[in-house]
Chains A and B, each alone.
Chain A
Amino acid sequence: MNTTTVPGLRPGLTAAGGDVLDQLAEAVLPVVSGRSTAEGDLFIQHWPRHKATTERSAAVKATRPLPRAGADLLGDGSHVLLADGPRVTWGGQPSASGLTLGTLVVGAGSVAVLSHREHRDLRIGCGIYVIRRSRWVTLLTTSRPALPQAEPDWREAID
């Protein structure tokens, strides 16, 4: 079996077949600029200058700098948008369907980081983007019987 010693890691750490090297390569995340990406249940769609220009301009103006803690896009901590640099603004502007969550603006030299609980982080470079949820969720929930409600919290029954 081939083993590889990885410089910079603790002494003695080796990898069979380059596994660790592969993992390190994955850990160095590329920045995706001016292109669309799909991350888990979210779609980050690049909004080029020539498409829906009036709405684009209004959406951009409605964005504000991201707070240090970032923006919890789905409210459950699964997808958190963070700023790496001063020129990252976000505007939570839900569409009528609720699928589109808002508009992200990333200026030159800055990067927005979409941190996902299950996937590797996504680094988004210079550009204007909309972030939306996958549409299939609505196909299963619209005009269908609602999922049963969660059981009442047992703690609330204690006097």
Chain B
Amino acid sequence: MSAIAAAVTAAIAGGGGAWLIGAARAWGRDSGPDLDQAAVSRAVSAALTVNPARGFAAAQRIGWAELLRRGALTPVAPVISDPGNPGRWLGLFEDATGALGMGAVRVLIVVNGSPKKRDGSHTVHGIPVPAGITTPLEAAAWAHDDPTHPLRCTVGDYVDLAWRS
């Protein structure tokens, strides 16, 4: 097991969220041959099982784009153009292999409309949605809906979106 994977495992055992995030960030930077990435994946998986909020934060640090490149996520439906964000896309993915321990949660991958201030790049975000959701638009509408309010957010409402930052 690599030092980073060991650190992640120790962080989970000790409940150290900051360590986990730091280790995940380090993993994102380090792609050296001695890195036991499978062990890190298992560690992140364990984190997601124990505490999804922390696990999602770790995945965010690693980078959803990086996870997609590594084939860690499987598309549920075709990727579509984001109605509120011309030139960007929406994708709905699941952890079909269980490598990330996301379980019943699927993830809507979106690209921020606002670039980062310093370098102009856009951030890729992962938004967890329930497993029953089958399309990116459904997922986006769900993310902005409030079932306890008289005004609901439907797929049509999201399609009519003027802007998403």
Contacts and interface: CB of A to CB of B under 8 A. Distances in A.
A6 B128 CA distance: 43
Contact of A52 (B143, B150, B157): B150
Contacts of B127: 134, 136
Interface in B148-165: 148-151, 153, 157-158, 160-165
A108 to B, nearest CB: 18
A144 B104 CA distance: 14
Interface in A103-148: 116, 118-120, 122, 130, 132, 134-136, 139-141, 144-145, 147-148
B10 to A, nearest CB: 16
Interface in B120-165: 127-130, 142-151, 153, 157-158, 160-165
The binding surface of chain B is classed by DSSP as loop
A120 B114 contact: yes
Contacts of A132: 144, 146, 149
Contacts of B163: 32, 37-38, 122
Contact of B146 (A51, A56, A100, A148): A100
Contacts of A144: 51-53
A39 interface: yes
A140 B161 contact: no
Contacts of A145: 50-51
Interface string A90-103: 00000111011000
B123 to A, nearest CB: 9
Nearest to B130: A139
Contacts of B51: 144-145, 147
Contact of A43 (B130, B150, B153): B153
Given A35-B160, A136-B127, A40 B143 contact: no
A36 interface: yes
B56 interface: yes
A147 B149 contact: no
Contact of B56 (A55, A100, A140): A140
Given A32-B162, A134-B127, 4 more contacts: A36-B153, A37-B162, A47-B151, A136-B127
Interface of A: 32, 35-40, 43, 45, 47, 51-52, 55-56, 95-97, 99-100, 116, 118-120, 122, 130, 132, 134-136, 139-141, 144-145, 147-148
